[in-house]
Amino acid sequence: MNYARFLTATSAARKACVIRVVAGIMEKAPKSLIPLATGAPNPNTFPFKTAVITIEDGETIQLNEQMMKRALQYSQSAGIPELLSWLKQLQVNLHNPPTIHYPSSEGQMDICVTSGSQEGLCKVFEMIINPGDNILVNEPIYSGTIHALQPLGCNIINVASDEYGIIPNSLREILSKWKPEDSKNPEKNTPKFLYTVPNGNNPTGHSLTSNRKKEIYELARKYDFLIVEDDPYYFLQFNKPWEPTFLSIDVDGRVIRADSFSKVLSSGLRIGFITGPKFLIERLVLHTQVSTMHPSTFSQVLVSQLLHQWGQEGFLTHVERVTDFYRKQKDALLAAADKWLHGLAEWHVPTAGLFLWIKIKGIDDVRKLTEEKALKKEVLLVPGCGFYVDDSAPSPYFRASFSLASPEQMDVAFQRLAQLIKESL
């Protein structure tokens, strides 16, 4: 892989920041090293001294004075080492990436921690996209991605998808306007990457099948583009076994995978991680050195302590409990939809994630219905138009989340909505 050809001039120009390098040395240094180098504040002056945090089953995470000093201090830009090594092992066990044993110059798998996956994705986009570049997505897509992409001035090409994710033939047809060798000629402007949410897509709840993934990956090889696999709902898959990921079939080192702990541990701690070829991960870390410097050390220490305490098995047992909760929530929302919206609307059963994507029959644009009328009746929904690059285009869809409302509230909400739909027809 010629990774350099994917970089913007800004990303290519990034260099290691000397202060951050010194901070890295400090973290690994023996106690005998005399620290005259860094601008790190003296943690003895910090007002927070110790912490005991109660977790599930009444167990606790204890941060003694020494750990607290570390948790409140600057740390390495890629993430704290003990969290990174835990995450690396997780990725190896879950995805068995072919690139794990590749030489570092040839796409070896690497990881960095980010302040939520959103921050990582935003940096990935800024690393790759120049104004006018072609990139591929499947609408409807997560609005956070649209708003990260649009200001970069890229040309966003929509690939058709259905309830099984991206349709490979649609991708094939789009790509057929180029020849495979065009990727070697920058003037041909071949797509630089395909972005997709493979499990429980936000907003549709749809998941991409593994057979389609294989076809799409072969097209990525043929036309030499990267795949950005944004997978925050991976741990919230309702069916077993979990689908193989793009990372697990990535023999070239062309997949950049974004994971998130937001949906299973905490969204406010802001811990996500990006897995991908070392060359590109290094560029992201250089960006972090001069932007956030590093994800919160406190958040990382807390998450790392929890994960080490639980072990991988304990983490996956927790994930199972969370998924069971959302499975019941999903079933409750579907029951309410069957009861009140039958004949008025259409939907597919979500396979992962937090969302039900509903099409109202006979109404071309549900913006007014959801944004004004439903809100007046105290039901909060997101109109579908917000998940399209052209958000002014009418959409008969809306997104309902089954995360926070109780089954009783879901029932009341869809009863009110059904009434509003009937009045609007």
Q: Does 384 bind ligand PLP (CB under 6 A)?
A: no
According to CB under 6 A, which one of 138, 161, 207, 260 is a site residue for ligand PLP? Answer: 260
* Dist. CA 269–CA 279, nearest whole Å: 27
Burial of 145 (0-12, 13-18, 19+ CB in 10 A): buried
Cα separation, 47 vs 268, in Å, equals: 22
How many of the chain's residues bind ligand PLP (CB under 6 A)?
A: 13
By C-beta, is 127 or 418 nearer to ligand PLP?
Answer: 127
Q: Choose the stretch contacting ligand PLP; rule: CB under 6 A; options: 80-88, 115-123, 208-216, 389-397.
A: 115-123
Q: State the nearest-atom distance from the C-beta of 363 to ligand PLP, in Å.
A: 26
What is the closest distance, in whole angstroms, from the C-beta atom of residue 238 to ligand PLP in the complex? 16
The strand order across the sheet containing 226-230 reads 109-114, 272-277, 255-260, 226-230, 193-196, 134-137, 155-158
Closer residue to ligand PLP in complex, CB, 225/235: 235
Amino acid in position 133: D
Tell me if 232 contacts ligand PLP by CB under 6 A: yes
Q: In a 10 Å sphere around its CB, with 0-12 CB exposed, 13-18 middle and 19+ buried, how is residue 338 labelled? A: exposed
Q: How far apart are the first and last CA of the chain?
A: 55
Residues 6+ apart with CB under 8 A from 68: 48, 49, 50, 51
Minimum CB–partner distance for residue 169 and ligand PLP (Å): 24
Smallest gap from Cβ 84 to ligand PLP, in A, equals: 17
Stretch that binds ligand PLP, among 55-63, 160-168, 260-268, 326-334 (CB under 6 A): 260-268
In the complex, the smallest distance separating the C-beta of residue 69 from ligand PLP, rounded to whole angstroms, is: 28
* Binder of ligand PLP out of 24, 43, 81, 144 (CB under 6 A): 144
* Total count of residues recorded for the chain: 425
For residues 425 and 80, what is the distance between their CA atoms, to the nearest angstrom? 56
Burial 375-388 (b: 16+ CB within 10 A, else e): eeeebebbbbbbbb
Query: Considering only residues 96, 267, 317, 419, which one is a binding residue for ligand PLP as defined by CB under 6 A?
Result: 267
CB of 145 to ligand PLP, least distance (A): 7
* Residue 398 phi, psi (nearest 5): -140, 160
Helix and strand numbers, DSSP H then E, in the chain = 13, 15
> Smallest distance, Å, CB 267 to ligand PLP?
5
- Written as one letter, the residue type at 268 is G
The reply to whether 168 sits near ligand PLP by the rule CB under 6 A is no
From 262, 292, 309, 415, residue interacting with ligand PLP (rule: CB under 6 A): 262
Q: Which is nearer to ligand PLP, 260 or 289 (CB)?
A: 260
Residue 295 as a binder of ligand PLP (CB under 6 A): the answer is no
Map tokens 């579907």 to a residue. Answer: 334
174, β-bridge pairs? none
The answer to the question of residue 288 lying near ligand PLP (CB under 6 A) is no
**Contacting range for ligand PLP; rule: CB under 6 A; set: 26-34, 110-118, 289-297, 412-420:** 110-118
Q: Which residue is nearest to ligand PLP (CB)?
A: 116
**Contact flag: residue 296 with ligand PLP (CB under 6 A):** no
DSSP reduced 3-state for 364? coil
Q: Does 273 bind ligand PLP (CB under 6 A)?
A: no
Q: Which residues in this chain contact ligand PLP in the complex, by CB under 6 A?
A: 116-118, 142, 144, 197, 202, 230, 232, 260, 262, 267, 272
